[in-house]
């Protein structure tokens, strides 16, 4: 069931087939340019942010967040099944010792040990049935994970071609936006001429004392609607979507999983210790260590999801820790900060409850 993305092999060639890419049927220049472009099945073009010589060039994201989460769920299920299997094996090892002791007692002529032996044998039989069931479940979970990974491997070339096609479509849409903005500018100029003509009509009507409405169904909001800067917004979106944004800065992930907005170039999920490139204003919220804890007390806050490279390196050098141990150090630092906030919060609250003695409070 998890191998649905596995490419189907043709009988005569044995080559994997993948879904056809959709292209616009419009005959405009951008659409024709896109339809005539060849999309190779090789490695995706490398596109990266302009962040200086030290910034790595990034290819298209290899997997979507949905696929990563699916694999994680399958991996977790396999680990759970293996844990059940190991527990059953451990129980059987203990029962084997129990059986050995019971046999020794029976051999020594202890009559009461017969019931003890029968009970041990029954427990062994029950646990063996459980072990067989757990092994079957674990094998199924392992098979599901292998099928999913095989499907993802076969799906990768199609994903790359689709990502390249999406990049081409984004460029084609930007060309359309340029044309659209030009037409809107022309329409806006015509609207201004219309407004001037209407103003002239009002003056001429006032000269002869004619009192009537000169509105002819053109909404007042049309001027604002035609004043949109489509190309500027489209360029910003394209740069973000293709991983070509400028002025990006590196940040280190200090939470378990950091999930930025998915784009063609950006990974769907970043893990602890990995570097993610973001705009300063985009990263600001995730750098905070005073975000309120949902449904928490006044002093309870969420730890930051990101740290600057310099701050992360400083904590690493100070503690001499790496990996999970460094994560624990950061958690401890946030707990200490939260404890100070708690003390301050309680002191302030206690002070607000003490009556003012000068006003006759008791």
Predicted confidence (pLDDT) at residue 209 exceeds the cutoff of 80: yes
| Tens digit of each residue's pLDDT (9 = 90 or more) over 292-350 | 887 766 667 889 999 999 999 999 999 888 888 999 999 888 888 888 888 887 787 77
pLDDT grade, residue 355 (50/70/90)? low
Tens of pLDDT, residue by residue over 222-254, are: 878 788 888 999 999 999 999 899 899 999 999
Selection from 163, 160, 168, 159 nearest residue 34 by Cα? 168
pLDDT at 214 over 80: yes
* Structure confidence by residue, pLDDT tens digits, 55-92: 444 479 999 999 999 999 999 999 999 999 999 999 99
What's the whole-number average pLDDT of the chain?
81
Element (H, E) at 232: helix 230-242
What does the block give as tokens for 42?
């090789």
pLDDT at 129: 94
Evaluated on CA atoms 155, 157, 159, 165, the torsion sign reads negative
pLDDT at 108: 84
State the pLDDT at residue 354: 55
Please say if the pLDDT value at position 361 is more than 80: no
Indicate the range of 130-144, 147-161, 194-208, 343-357 predicted with least confidence. 343-357
CA distances from 38 to 33, 119, 175, 206 (A): 10, 73, 19, 65
Which residues are CB-neighbours of 243 under 8 A, at least 6 positions away? Answer: 47, 48, 49, 58, 263, 264, 265, 266
pLDDT digits (tens, 9 = 90+) for 251-277: 999 999 999 999 998 889 999 999 999
Q: Could you tell me if 237 and 229 are in contact, meaning their C-beta atoms sit under 8 angstroms apart?
A: no
Please say whether the beta carbons of 137 and 80 come within 8 A.
Answer: no
Task: Check residue 7 and give its pLDDT.
Answer: 38
Which range (115-119, 169-173, 206-210) has the least confidence? 115-119
Residues in the chain: 362
The pLDDT > 70 percentage for the chain reads: 80
Q: Tell me phi and psi for residue 255, to 5 degrees.
A: -110, 175
The pLDDT value given to residue 96: 92
d(CA 250, CA 253): 10
Chain-centroid distance of CA 121 in Å reads 52
The set of residues, in sequence order, having a beta carbon less than 8 Å from that of 253 and lying 6+ positions away, is 270, 271, 272, 273, 274, 275, 276, 305, 306
């Amino acid at each position: 069931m998890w191998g649905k993305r596995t490419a189907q092999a043709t009988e005569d060639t044995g080559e994997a087939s993948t879904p056809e890419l959709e292209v616009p049927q419009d005959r405009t220049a951008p659409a024709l340019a896109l339809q005539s472009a060849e999309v190779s099945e090789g490695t995706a073009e490398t596109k990266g942010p302009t962040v200086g010589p030290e910034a790595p060039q990034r290819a298209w994201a290899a997997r979507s967040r949905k696929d990563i989460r699916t694999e994680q769920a399958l991996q977790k299920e396999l680990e759970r099944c293996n844990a059940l299997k190991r527990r059953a094996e451990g129980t059987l090892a203990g029962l084997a010792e129990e059986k050995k002791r019971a046999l020794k007692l029976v051999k020594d002529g202890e009559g009461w040990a017969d019931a003890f032996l029968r009970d041990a044998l029954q427990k062994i039989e029950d646990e063996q049935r459980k072990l067989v069931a757990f092994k079957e479940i674990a094998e199924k979970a392992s098979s599901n994970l292998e099928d999913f990974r095989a499907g993802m491997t076969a799906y990768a070339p199609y994903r790359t071609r689709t990502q390249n096609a999406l990049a081409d479509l984004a460029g084609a849409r930007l060309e359309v936006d340029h044309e659209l903005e030009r037409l809107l500018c022309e329409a806006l100029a015509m609207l201004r001429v219309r407004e001037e003509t209407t103003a002239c009509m009002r003056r001429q009507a006032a000269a002869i004392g004619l009192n009537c409405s000169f509105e002819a169904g053109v909404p007042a909001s049309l001027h604002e609607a035609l004043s949109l800067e489509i190309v500027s917004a489209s360029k910003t979106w394209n740069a973000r979507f293709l991983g070509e944004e400028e002025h990006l800065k590196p940040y280190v992930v200090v939470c378990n999983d950091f999930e930025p907005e998915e784009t063609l170039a950006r990974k769907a999920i970043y893990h602890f210790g990995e570097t993610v490139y973001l705009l300063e204003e985009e990263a600001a919220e995730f750098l905070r260590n005073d975000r309120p804890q949902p449904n928490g007390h006044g002093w309870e806050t969420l730890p930051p999801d990101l740290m600057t490279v310099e701050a992360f390196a400083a904590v690493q050098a100070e503690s001499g820790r790496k990996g999970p141990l460094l994560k624990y150090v950061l958690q401890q630092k946030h707990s200490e900060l939260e404890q100070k906030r708690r003390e301050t919060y309680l002191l302030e609250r206690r002070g607000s409850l003490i009556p003012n003695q000068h006003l006759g409070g008791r």
